[in-house]
Structure 1
Amino acid sequence: MYAAPNGIKGYSYLTAYAGTTPERADETLRVVQAEVARLAEGVSEEELERTRIGL
């Protein structure tokens, strides 16, 4: 799975990509959705720092 923050003129959004097989597509989608939903819980200082460095 790959995810990255993006932004355009005052707006931001998250791009996520996950490679999978047709047989596991439903499971992969559920995992990606769960991880995106988990963002509402907040991020750790370490995660925030890695994002700052990446930007």
Structure 2
Amino acid sequence: SITVFLNDCKARFSYPDGHREEFEAKAGQVVHMDAFVHDPVNLGEAFEAIQVELKK
């Protein structure tokens, strides 16, 4: 997927194996991520983003 963050974001992803990872993005930042199983938790203020999920 490709995500454009409209404002700052701070989150934590929890993975099925128990691993956790914190993630931060700034307003205007564009991020590409391959598909993965995760449980996101917002660690900051509410944020907005536009996400486009790509099909193969």
Q: TM-score, normalised by structure 2?
A: 0.31
Higher strand share: 2
Q: Which has the higher contact order (CA 8 A, sep 6+)?
A: 2
TM-score (norm 1): 0.31
The answer to which structure has the higher helix fraction is: 1
Q: Which has the larger radius of gyration?
A: 1
